[in-house]
C-alpha cells in the first residue's frame, strides 16, 4: 500500500469525477442542502477528509472560515492549488492541515467548530466508528455535523442497469462494492449512522438523497447541470426518491 493511497487516484478524482456533470451536480446538491442548516458566515467550518476542497471551498467563497483536514499530501496539494486561484479574501479564510481524520481534534488543537463536514469518507473505511467519533469531538455545542455516505440499500442498482446480473444479485446481500474509481467502497445506512451519531451526543435533524437520476445515467458534457440539480434537489428531499439515491446526506446537531 503506498504511503499516500490517494496519490494515484487524485487525477481521476479531482480532474475526472468532480469535473463531470454528475460531479458538479453532487457538489451543488450537497451545498444547497447544507446551507439550510449552517449558521451564517463567518462561522468556522471543518472539512474532515476534505480532499481538494470541492465541498468547503464554495463555503469559503461565501465568507465561512474553512479548515480542511486530509491524510493525503497529494489531495491537499490539489486543494492548495485551487485555493491559490481564489481572491485574497477567500484565501485568507482557508487553512489546510495534513493528517488522518480520526485525529482531527488533535490536529486542530481541540478547537470546536460550528459545523464539521465528512463527505465521501466513510465509504473508504472498514469501520466508520472512529471517524464519526472524531468528527463529533470537533463540533461545538449546537453545531452541525454533516455526513455523506454510500447507500448500502441501493448497491444492486448500478450493476443491474449495466446488465451485470450476477453482480446485481450478489449486491442485495453485500455491504460493499468496487466504486467508479476502482477502489473498494463500503455502504452505510441512515439508521446505522443515526445511531452512531446518537452515541456521540449528536442527534439527526434531517437526511436527504444526493444522487438519483444523474448517477444511474450517462450525461453528456453539454448537459445543463443546473437543470439536473434542480430535479435532484426535489427528489433528494422526498420519499420514495431519497431512499433510492446512490449516496445519502445525513445532518445532525450536537446538543447545547
What domains lie within the chain, and their CATH numbers?
Answer: 7-254 (3.40.50.150)
How would residue 133 be classed by pLDDT, with cut points 50, 70 and 90?
very high
Mean pLDDT of 82-86: 95
Mean pLDDT of 18-47: 91
How would residue 215 be classed by pLDDT, with cut points 50, 70 and 90?
confident
Q: Which residue, among 41, 208, 43, 203, has the nearest Cα to 119 in the 3D structure? A: 208
**What does pLDDT average to over the chain?**
91
How would residue 17 be classed by pLDDT, with cut points 50, 70 and 90?
low
Residue 1: predicted pLDDT: 38
CB contact burial 27-46 (16+ within 10 A = b; e otherwise)? bbbbbebbeebbeebebbbb
pTM of the full predicted structure?
A: 0.92
Residue 114: predicted pLDDT: 98
Residue 11: predicted pLDDT: 64
- pLDDT of residue 100 exceeding 60: yes
- Choice among 40-44, 135-139, 222-226 with the minimum mean pLDDT: 222-226
pLDDT digits (tens, 9 = 90+) for 176-198: 888 766 778 899 999 999 999 99
Amino acid at each position: 500500500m503506498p504511503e499516500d493511497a490517494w496519490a494515484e487516484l487524485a487525477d481521476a478524482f479531482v480532474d475526472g469525477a468532480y469535473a463531470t456533470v454528475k460531479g458538479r451536480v453532487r457538489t451543488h446538491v450537497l451545498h444547497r442542502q447544507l446551507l439550510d442548516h449552517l449558521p451564517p458566515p463567518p462561522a468556522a467550518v471543518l472539512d474532515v477528509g476534505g480532499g481538494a476542497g470541492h465541498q468547503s471551498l464554495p463555503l469559503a467563497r461565501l465568507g465561512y472560515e474553512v479548515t480542511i483536514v486530509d491524510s493525503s499530501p497529494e489531495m491537499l496539494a490539489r486543494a492548495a492549488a485551487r485555493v491559490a486561484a481564489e481572491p485574497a479574501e477567500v484565501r485568507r479564510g482557508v487553512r489546510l492541515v495534513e493528517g488522518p481524520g480520526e485525529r482531527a481534534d488533535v490536529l486542530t488543537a481541540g478547537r470546536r467548530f460550528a459545523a464539521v463536514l465528512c463527505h465521501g469518507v466513510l465509504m473508504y473505511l472498514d469501520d466508520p466508528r472512529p471517524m464519526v467519533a472524531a468528527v463529533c469531538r470537533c463540533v461545538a455545542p449546537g453545531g452541525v455535523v454533516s455526513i455523506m455516505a454510500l447507500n448500502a440499500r441501493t448497491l444492486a442498482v448500478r450493476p443491474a442497469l449495466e446488465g451485470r446480473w450476477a453482480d446485481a444479485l450478489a449486491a442485495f446481500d453485500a455491504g460493499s462494492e468496487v466504486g467508479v474509481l476502482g477502489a473498494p467502497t463500503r455502504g452505510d445506512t441512515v439508521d446505522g449512522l443515526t445511531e452512531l451519531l446518537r452515541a456521540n451526543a449528536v442527534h439527526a435533524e434531517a437526511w436527504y438523497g444526493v444522487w438519483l437520476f444523474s448517477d444511474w445515467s450517462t450525461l453528456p458534457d453539454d448537459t445543463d447541470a443546473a437543470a439536473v440539480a434542480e430535479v435532484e434537489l426535489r427528489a433528494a428531499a422526498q420519499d420514495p426518491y431519497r431512499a433510492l439515491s446512490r449516496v445519502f446526506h445525513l445532518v445532525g446537531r450536537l446538543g447545547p
